[in-house]
Structure formats: structure tokens, C-alpha cells
Structure 1
């Protein structure tokens, strides 16, 4: 009996750190370039998010075939199948099914049971960068707190004005580091942020942030991803019990299990010549 195209979201195990699994193939669809998009009922693979592509996709194997890419797919109300940038709505839109699509060079039989194996070392490196990205956000918020002339109306989990959220322009990570770019423009200043002498004080600011990051790594705080359900569309949170208190950030990526998996975590802060852009490159060193 043929399997219908999936109209329920893929069940994912990557939030708990899984890198292996077995599942049934629900679809094997042709993609541009002669490749195929394989959808399974469940998967440990983390796909690239089509709306906020901060963490790259997992690679690995599916039924011994190399998984060359892993993208977000969706089935619309009329049964249309779309992937990546072609999806016209945000993930979780009502009436759509959300899928993890494993990109391979060969079609896979629908209805077959396959082994899925993620490249564990690449996953670990990406998880370290993603955890480092969130810790950087909290440490930077704390260090910049004195620069707010008034309450901007948004604070982070540790009670500091949420510069990271309010100024974020882009966030990207790879197996080496995370790179976060912040816009320091008129809208941020209107909210009460002052950038006066930020360039002059950048070395001291960097040292303050790195001291806090080092203390957090030394504390070996536990890290987890809180997921209300196993669907790809579940709204998950990164959570970490830091010495200053419990911290959590909405996040769809993968993470370390505890900060003691790192030897060190350091950031380099750079300010553009016109002072309108602050870039943080945060590098984890794994054990």
C-alpha cells in the first residue's frame, strides 16, 4: 500500500542530542539538480531553517547514502510540496505540515525502514558554537547594561536589557565559531541605548565579556533543550543553569549537554568605522 505524502510534521530527536535513528520513508521526491528529498517519519537530523538560517544543516548518512544537505520542507493546504526559500510562510503556519528533508543523490523506496546517522563530530562542533552564541548574548547584555539611559522594555532571562535581541541583524554559526552582527542605529538609540565612546571602550568591554564567559565555562553548568513535543514545529528553548540564575532563550538548534565540554569560550568584538555595526565572533574550544 503506497504511503500518502506526509501531512503531519516530522518527529525530531536532535533536541535531546540524538545522532542516530531508524524510521520509515514517507516520501522520496525529485529536487532540482537531479537530487532527491527523502522524508522520514522521524529523524535525528537538524535541518537548515528557511526563515532564520543560523545553524547549518546536519550531514551524515541515510540508508548508507550520503546526506548532502538537510532542509526544511512543507506541504501546503492544497498538497503542494515546497522546500527552503520557496516556502512562502513561516514555520508553524496553520494548515501546513513541516518536514525534515534529507537531500541525497539516489531515490529511496517509500515504505522502507532506513538507518539515519548524523556526522557526530560536525554536530558537536555546531552545538558548541550555538551554545557559545547564546552565552555571548547574555554576557554582552550584562556588560552593556550601564549604557541604557532608560528601560528599553525588553530584558533577558538574567534581568539585563536585551541588547542582543533588540539590536540583532544576523547570527550565523559554523564548526569553528558563531558570528553575530548588531545594528546600532537610530531605533536603538531611541530605545535608550548610548554608543558614546563605544569604540574607545571596546577592549575593556571585550575583556568584561570574556571574563564572564570564562566563569560560566568553569562552573560547568548543565545545558538542555526544552521541547514540549517531538514535532519539528515545537517551540523549543535552550536552557542553562548559570551561577547568576536560570537562563533560557527560544531556539530551534542543537547544543552541548554541559559547559564543561568546553576548555574555553572567547569572543572578539569589532566596531565598524562609522560605529553603526558591532560584530561578535565567539569561538569555543572543545575538550
Structure 2
């Protein structure tokens, strides 16, 4: 995503918790290295409960995610953006900042290469970093005027067809006002964070994370006049399933609920957010260049 605030916070971190991608090859060795770096820097170190199983032996305090708010000052996430999405949703609103370290491929949110951790982590622990607040979406699923599911999404809420079924028919309202009927493979409701994920591949715009908006992006619409649109962040979107088989709603592509004809998905900006930390001088424009291969062209082109 694009550049966060350039003003570094001065808060130092004492209590730090390690969180790692589950079942990732070689993660135990990487966690041991990170633990050594943080312990040597004087941190009071703990480890998230599911992550602890990747270490054959340790003497660290084990924390459940629900205990982060009262028991840790910073969560260091080892993995990719998918790991960050899952943890971010679960601790959203806790006030615990997240620092992402990638194990290979550069991420939009996990932007610190593992090989740089030894030099990058200590100054960040000492308060030399940039802060990047990200909003989430909150969605509820209604059937016969009864709420059957509620969830959060950091990237997007997606209503779409599953398997080999045909197009879905969706009726979309914004703030109670009818917008359109749509025949398509589905509809993406995205945060600025999610604008570089599925929404981008479906033809949506890239939003700066400080743009207070929500993006609607049709997936392969039947009518070419159904175009992506950026709505105000205060907007409340209602998506009603008017037709189609095997329709589902996904939250960050990590959890889903099956839908029936007449079901409604109501989406709005959540009052919860997460806080990402980046090293001083971090450039999301550079990340975009590398992730989207903008850097493949010579500067003199």
C-alpha cells in the first residue's frame, strides 16, 4: 500500500510476542533466530499459543490471542500477508501494533525481509518506526430477518459464485438507496488495504490507505457498464442475492458462509482498526513497483 505517516513514534516496546505462519517450512529455525535477536535486545519475550508448537523447546511465556491486549506491547508477525490478515482480524481494536517480517516474497504489509531483521528490529523496538493505521470492514449476513453470521475483513468481503455454477444476480443498495441489479461472477467490497488484492485483479483502482473510501468491484460483470466505484467510508452497502446457485460470501478469503436466494449481506466500515509498523524511510511506492513489476522498465523509457 502507499506511504504511511512519515512521523515516527517514540514509544519503545518492552513486551514483545512472536507469531508465526502455521505449517511453514523452516519456521522453527526462523522463530529461534528472531527470539535470540529480541532477547539480546532486552525484550520480555512471549510466543503465541499456536506458534509455540513450531519450537521443539523454549522457555517463553505462551499467550493466547485474546490475551494480547493486556499482556503484550507489540506483535512480531513472521510470514506473509495472509498471516497478517488472519492475526489482524483477530486482534483488531486491541491497540497492539503489528510488525511484519516476510520469509521470502515481499508483502504489502509484511515488508521487512527476514535477512534484515537483525539490523531493522532493534531500532524499531527502541521507537524508530513509522505507523500505519488500517481500517476494517464489518459484515453481517441476514436470512429471513435473522442474523446468521457476522465477521471482519481487513482486505475485502466478497459475494461470489462457487464451483462451476453460473452467474449470480445481486441487488445492491448504498445507504438505503438502490444502486443497481448486477449479473456477474460476484462483487468485491474492499478496503483501501484490499485494493491491491483481489479487487486489483478484477480491475479495481489502487487506493492510498489514507483515502477514506470503500471500493465496489464487480467480478466479470455481464454488462460492461457495471464499473468499479469508490464510495465514502461512511457508506453502508446491502447486497441481496436475487438469483444464482452455490453463492457464498468470503471474508478475506479465509472464512466463508453459504448464501441462499433472498439472503442479504450488509457491509460497513468497522469501528475497529489495526496498526502496522514500518521501518523509518519505508516506501510503499517502492513496494508497489516491485510487486506490480513497474520496475521492469528502464528509467529512461
Using CA pairs below 8 Å that are at least 6 residues apart, which structure has the higher relative contact order? Answer: 2
Q: TM-score, normalised by structure 1?
A: 0.29
After TM superposition, the score normalised by the length of structure 2 is 0.28
Which has a greater percent of strand?
2
